[in-house]
Amino acid sequence: MVHFKEKLESFDFNHWSFHVPVPDEISSQFLQNNNRRVLVSINQQGPWHMALMKAKAYWYILVNQQIRNNLKLETGDLLSIEMERDESEFGHELPEEFQILMDQDEEGTAYFRSLTPGKQRSLVYLVTKVKNSESRMKKSLAIMHHLRLAKGKLDFRQLNDLIKYYNNL
């Protein structure tokens, strides 16, 4: 685990603007085997699954609005950062509901495993961000159903329609 202090900054040019620069001597410790995923704690809160991103001049981590609001962070605040390598398979903890379906649905799991790591991470995040267990199960069912119907070709519009369908059951 690495500790450092850095200010919360904001880019002027896009909506993904709030970030914490990561010094090169620290970022270089995490940039191995094309894996930039890290677990980050801010001011002793967290950890959150994040990724090291590259601007022209430096590496950084994005700090989303939910984290900023929960920690009452403002641009220019000096933050205490703890960072460690994210060893999780999908860049998020796999929800139990999704794991149960993967254990039971060989075809859906094979399609899921054939997706790129980024698409796998996105689907796991769709389930992870849901607080209610029943809703996580419905979303997991919709994802597996979609993967089987689409033969592993991810179409987010169709997936969203299936998620709405399952949510209304």
Side chain identity at residue 28, one-letter code: S
pLDDT tens-place string over residues 105-134? 999 999 999 999 889 988 998 998 888 999
What pLDDT is attached to residue 67? 94
The confidence score (pLDDT) of residue 38 equals 94
Beta strand 45-51 with 2-7 is: unpaired
At 136-162, the pLDDT tens digits run: 999 999 999 999 999 999 999 999 999
pLDDT on residue 91: 76
pTM over 0.85: no
The domain segmentation of the chain, as residue ranges, is 2-85, 96-167
**Is 14 a residue whose pLDDT tops 90?**
no
**pLDDT per residue over 80-97, tens digit each?**
999 999 888 887 788 999
pLDDT tens per residue across span 45-70: 999 999 999 988 899 999 999 999 99
DSSP three-state, residue 56: coil
Q: Taking Cα atoms as reference points, which of 152, 78, 151 lies closest to residue 116?
A: 152
**Extended strands (E) in 8-137:** 9-10, 18-22, 37-42, 45-51, 53-54, 59-62, 78-85
Domain range 2-85, CATH architecture = Beta Barrel (2.40)
Q: Which residue has the tokens 């703890």?
A: 82
